[in-house]
Amino acid sequence: MNVPAVNVASLLRRWWPVPALVVLVLLPYSALPLPGLLDGPIGSPGSLQLLALCLVFGALATGYDLLLGRTGLLSFGHALYFAAGTYATDLMLTQAGLGFWPAAGLGLLSGVVLATLLGSVSLRMTGIGFAMVTLAFAQAGSILVQRDPGGVTGGEEGLAATGLPGSLVGIQHTANLYWIALAYLVVTLVSVRWTVRSPIGRVWEGIRENERRVEVLGLRPYGFKLVAFVLAGTLAALGGVVYLLLTGGATPQTTTSDFTLSLLVMVVLGGSGTRWGPLVGGVLYTWAQHRLASLAGSGTIAGLPSVLRVPLSQPLFLLGVLFVIVVYALPGGVAGLPARVRARTVSRSVPRGVQA
Amino acid sequence: MSTVVLLCITGLGLGALYFLVASGLSLIFGLMDVLNFAHGALLSVGAYATWWAASHSFGYPLALLFGTAVGTLASVALELGLIRPLYRRPREQVLATVGVGLAVPALLSAIWGADARTFPVPGALAGTFTLLGASVPVNRLVLIGAALVVLLALRLFLGRTRHGLVVRAGVEDRAMVTALGIDVRRAFTLVFAIGGAAAALAGGLAGLYFGSVDPTQGGSLLIFGFVVVVMGGLGSVSGAAVACVVVGLVQQFANYYSTAGLGDLSVVVMLAALLLVRPSGLTGRLA
Amino acid sequence: MSAPLLSVRELKVVVGGRHILHGVDLDVAPAGVTALLGRNGAGKTTTVRGILGLVPRSGSVRYDGHETVGMTTHQLVRRGIGYVPEDRGVFAALTVAENLRLAERDADPAYDLVHELFPELRQRARQAAGTLSGGQQQMVAIGRTLLNRSNRLIIADEPTKGLAPRVVTEVAVALERAAQAVPILLVEQNLALVRRLAGHCVVVADGRTAHAGPAAELLADAEKSRTLLGVGRRADAATGPGGDR
Ligand SMILES: Nc1ncnc2c1ncn2[C@@H]1O[C@H](COP(=O)(O)OP(=O)(O)OP(=O)(O)O)[C@@H](O)[C@H]1O
Ligand SMILES: [Mg+2]
């Protein structure tokens, strides 16, 4: 028996994220073309920009799953905290004229404060009531941003950021933005993993399984849920700051309920409550949306008959349909796929067809 | 004074739209625990079908009937095709409606464009009439009338018919209804049909109210539908009726007397305040 | 004993990943009362809910010669089963009359019988069932099963739980009366009632059938009833504290 080989395999199984991270860090230096997947070579600014967006949304979905998959809280207002990070930082830059770092700090802080305040109110409701209240709050934020009563958010136009540090602006610095996005992803993954495995995480699991039982144990679920809500909100606000850098400004689309719904789609697509599922879902979704959008704009689709061309020109239509298919055919998301394949090959599961 | 009258009638007209959206949402949620995110899409389907029929020289009443029928069929198809196979998996049911809610508006804008289409308002409904010195658009009355008719019909249905009895019982305890030998899934299809009809009707009337249709209308009305449902108490039609009046009036008055947009905001603040005082909403019961 | 009306074999129930029943076997005779006994938490309610398909189950449930594990609850119930659930299952927001009307399956419901046994239900027909006393609610729950003369089996889960002695007697009379026409599967903690009504009994413990035989035989054997049911000499004491659900 080859003992060292076994050790390498088990080491790799445990530590593969480390080499994966190294590879991700080194990507900007690669000139490898990935035709079909990316338009230019990996290290080109266009590709790095898309990759960075994928990482940000992967991280955002991972943070959102802290609520959905880990604690069982269906929040429809996550966009609010993301947008708070983006807009507050942007306003500190453009209106208050602060430097980037203090502005980012205050932007993050506003996300935390908002999540604490609104979380403590929303969590008075449970289940779907909670979902609706978070939705309503996020809608209020969205209305504020879009109607722009104070004349500061730029309304429908959005708000371009000014006064960003030179090393974070411009096409030649895309690699820096990419690394920031990667760092944000690592921070998110580590904090989610760490809290989920802590005693708090075990209470979250209990709440997800059966909230009443947690109460019977003499614990008040409210406080634990609030911690999850605030942590997820904080991570979202941080993501908002990173997004501001990536896109050079704030757009009102990030405040809408559709934005939260797309996070939900990412999480479910990838596999809710799993370690890597939301990340995979976020990356896939973001990548697909960009590819589909550029496909719709290209000549490939224009030649098709209208029955195909019309729906194919709408990425949201395709994603919506894809999502329904995933809900049906892949209940565990993409992350559940290997286990399903294994189960299928190992033993034919008992047919659960119920005849009437 | 005339301003107050106008704001009242307009607020009630808006509240009527909210009621048409919220009554179906509330029944579907109450009975099935499904928060129907496709409800806005059903509204849009009704709006576009009405618009299509109206611009193909159907008369408006006929067009509205056509739009409502299309929305009802779409809703029944949604329940039978997507919701029913996921029975006993309420979370997946909600997710399926989310997918539909994303896909349908995208499809509508793929076919008819993302921009608003002007709604052909018939002459008789385009005018205004004078009430206590205010000149009030006639279409507001149509909206309020339609909502009242739907409210009355729903109350009769719930209170006087066997199907209504099954729905009310199912809202309380679905499992016990099946244990009495009743196929509660029929009631599911029924509430989807009712909810889809009301939402599609709201869509056709929204075209009248706003003067145009666009693919995002359903989504934005849906949000206020949610607010009304929560305020009125999940599963309560009467609660929704009270809440929609409050929401419509507050929104109109606040929008008029302060910056535009603050009305929408004050509605949400009101919801938060209400939940702080009474976490179960105005009522906890069905009409 | 002639062929059983209901015959359960290897009934297994898993709820939320927890195995609650590991294999319950029981037969319900085509006449009279069969008692389903066991300590609190033994799995009696889960057995009943499994039989009715209210929880996902596996194993075999043959009713009237047909396998029913593939059926939905309403299909099974329509073959003539009346069910009195542990928590009574009345619809609080509905009136008494509406609760009864909902249960009607026969063209000619037996309101005369229900009102004869429970005259109070007639007087309170328009009262919301949620405002009734516990005993009155239990009358509604039992009344619902007596309404359909076509019922061929009644399953009653602790119908006397938490009731005052006078109401227990009233319920017992109703069950006794019903048992003359329809076989009953009765979950019951009140052993005096079991002794009075039941011919056969089945005991479940830890999600399995632990004993089956004539009820009188088990109750006469103090040692056996102590180990199986956890009761001492005062076996006739009132019902135990409410079970968890
Ligand atoms: N939905 C559920 N989730 C988790 N555990 C459950 C569930 N339903 C029942 N159980 C457990 O299964 C066991 C059997 O419960 P069941 O209600 O069948 O007992 P029982 O014999 O009817 O008790 P009692 O005499 O108190 O009514 C109990 O330990 C109970 O806690
Ligand atoms: Mg029990």
Q: Specify if C168 maps to a domain.
A: yes
Distance B138 CA to ligand 2 centre (A): 61
Name the residue in chain B with its Cα closest to that of A306: B111
Tokens representing residue C89 in the block? 């299952």
Which of A160-164, A308-312, B60-64, C179-183 shows the lowest mean pLDDT across its residues? Answer: A308-312
Say yes or no for a CB contact (<8 Å) between A132 and B95: no
Query: Which of residues 143 through 172 in chain B touch C, CB cutoff 8 A?
Result: 162, 165-166, 168-169, 171-172
Partners of C157 in the beta sheet? C187
Q: pLDDT per residue over A21-32, tens digit each?
A: 888 887 888 778
Q: pLDDT per residue over B61-95, tens digit each?
A: 899 999 999 999 999 999 999 999 887 787 788 88
Q: Let me know: does B172 contact B285? Beta carbons within 8 Å.
A: no
Q: How far apart are CA A229 and CA A116, in angstroms?
A: 8
**B166, B168, B180 member nearest C144 (Cβ):** B180
Distance C21 CA to ligand 1 centre (A): 10
Name the residue in chain C with its Cα closest to that of B162: C102
Query: Which of residues 200 through 259 in chain A touch C, CB cutoff 8 A?
Result: 209-210
Say yes or no for a CB contact (<8 Å) between C74 and B182: yes
A355 in C contact zone (CB under 8 Å): yes
Q: How far apart are CA A232 and CA A118, in angstroms?
A: 13
Say yes or no for a CB contact (<8 Å) between A356 and C72: yes
Task: Tell me the chain B residues in contact with residue C81 when contact means C-beta distances shorter than 8 Å.
Answer: 181
Q: pLDDT per residue over A313-325, tens digit each?
A: 787 888 888 889 8
Q: Report the pLDDT value the prediction gives residue C233, as an integer from 0 to 100.
A: 46
Q: Let me know: does B227 contact A125? Beta carbons within 8 Å.
A: no
**C16, C71, C72 member nearest A209 (Cβ):** C16
- Count of A-C CB contacts under 8 Å: 9
The ligand whose atoms approach the alpha carbon of C36 most closely is: 1
- Which among A64, A18, A255, A44 is positioned nearest to A143, based on CA atoms? A255
Say yes or no for a CB contact (<8 Å) between A128 and B107: no
Q: pLDDT per residue over C19-61, tens digit each?
A: 999 999 999 999 899 999 999 889 999 999 999 999 999 999 9
β-pairing, C66-67 with C18-28? unpaired
What number does the ligand 1 atom closest to the CA of C161 have? 27
The ligand whose atoms approach the alpha carbon of C14 most closely is: 1
**What are chain A's partners, defined as 3 or more CB pairs within 8 angstroms?**
B, C
CB of C162 within 6 A of ligand 1: the answer is: no
Which element (helix H / strand E) includes B13?
helix B2-32
Alpha carbon of A270 to those of A202, A267, A284, A332, A336: distances in Å? 22, 5, 8, 8, 8
Q: Residue B283: is its pLDDT beyond 70?
A: no
For residue C207, the Cα-to-chain-centroid distance in whole angstroms is 17
- Count of B-C CB contacts under 8 Å: 58
Tokens representing residue A101 in the block? 């770092």
Span B48-68, average pLDDT: 90
Say yes or no for a CB contact (<8 Å) between B103 and A137: no
Q: Report the pLDDT value the prediction gives residue A355, as an integer from 0 to 100.
A: 33
What number does the ligand 1 atom closest to the CA of C39 have? 25
Nearest CA to ligand 1 atom 30: C41
Which of B190-204, B258-272, C69-83 shows the lowest mean pLDDT across its residues? Answer: B258-272
Say yes or no for a CB contact (<8 Å) between B173 and C54: no
Distance C47 CA to ligand 1 centre (A): 9
Partners of B137 in the beta sheet? B128
Say yes or no for a CB contact (<8 Å) between A356 and C16: no
Span A3-26, average pLDDT: 79
Nearest CA to ligand 1 atom 18: C43
Tally the domains of chain C. Answer: 1
Q: Which domains does chain A have, with CATH numbers?
A: 40-355 (1.10.3470)
**C54, C93, C94 member nearest B179 (Cβ):** C54
- Give the number of other CB atoms < 10 A from CB of residue A160: 14
Alpha carbon of C184 to those of C156, C197, C199: distances in Å? 7, 10, 10
Query: Quick one: what percent of chain A has pLDDT higher than 70?
Result: 93
Q: Specify if C235 maps to a domain.
A: no
Q: Tell which wins on pLDDT, B60 or B202.
A: B202
Say yes or no for a CB contact (<8 Å) between A125 and B275: yes
The ligand whose atoms approach the alpha carbon of C49 most closely is: 1
Q: Specify if C240 maps to a domain.
A: no
Task: Tell me the chain B residues in contact with residue A327 when contact means C-beta distances shorter than 8 Å.
Answer: 86, 92, 95-96, 99
Say yes or no for a CB contact (<8 Å) between A319 and B95: no
Q: pLDDT per residue over C200-219, tens digit each?
A: 999 999 999 998 889 888 88
Q: How far apart are CA A140 and CA A119, in angstroms?
A: 15
Task: Tell me the chain B residues in contact with residue A258 when contact means C-beta distances shorter than 8 Å.
Answer: 102, 219
Span C123-139, average pLDDT: 93
What number does the ligand 1 atom closest to the CA of C207 have? 14
Say yes or no for a CB contact (<8 Å) between B33 and A314: no
β-pairing, B117-118 with B212-213? antiparallel
* Distance to chain B for C159, nearest Cα, Å: 16
Q: Specify if C161 maps to a domain.
A: yes
Nearest CA to ligand 1 atom 22: C45
- Give the number of other CB atoms < 10 A from CB of residue C58: 15
Q: How far apart are CA C213 and CA C230, in angstroms?
A: 18
The answer for A133, left when phi > 0, alpha when psi is -120 to 50, beta otherwise, is: alpha
CB of C42 within 6 A of ligand 1: the answer is: yes
**What are chain C's partners, defined as 3 or more CB pairs within 8 angstroms?**
A, B
Q: Report the pLDDT value the prediction gives residue C101, as an integer from 0 to 100.
A: 95
pLDDT, mean over chain A = 85
Q: pLDDT per residue over A83-128, tens digit each?
A: 999 999 999 998 888 888 999 999 999 999 999 999 998 898 887 7
Q: pLDDT per residue over B30-43, tens digit each?
A: 888 888 999 999 99
Q: Which domain holds residue C94?
A: 6-229
Alpha carbon of C31 to those of A74, A123, A349, C133: distances in Å? 51, 54, 40, 32
Distance C86 CA to ligand 2 centre (A): 6
Alpha carbon of B94 to those of A285, A323, A328: distances in Å? 20, 12, 12
Say yes or no for a CB contact (<8 Å) between B260 and A149: yes
C213 in B contact zone (CB under 8 Å): no
Q: Let me know: does A97 contact A161? Beta carbons within 8 Å.
A: no
pTM of the predicted protein model = 0.84
Span A262-286, average pLDDT: 91
* Distance to chain B for C119, nearest Cα, Å: 22
Q: Specify if C236 maps to a domain.
A: no
B87 in C contact zone (CB under 8 Å): no
* Distance to chain A for B232, nearest Cα, Å: 11
Q: Let me know: does A233 contact A119? Beta carbons within 8 Å.
A: yes
Q: What CATH number should be reported for the domain holding residue C71? A: 3.40.50.300
Span A270-277, average pLDDT: 90
CB of C43 within 6 A of ligand 1: the answer is: yes
Alpha carbon of B199 to those of B46, B50, B75, B268, C85: distances in Å? 7, 12, 9, 22, 38
Q: Report the pLDDT value the prediction gives residue A301, as an integer from 0 to 100.
A: 67
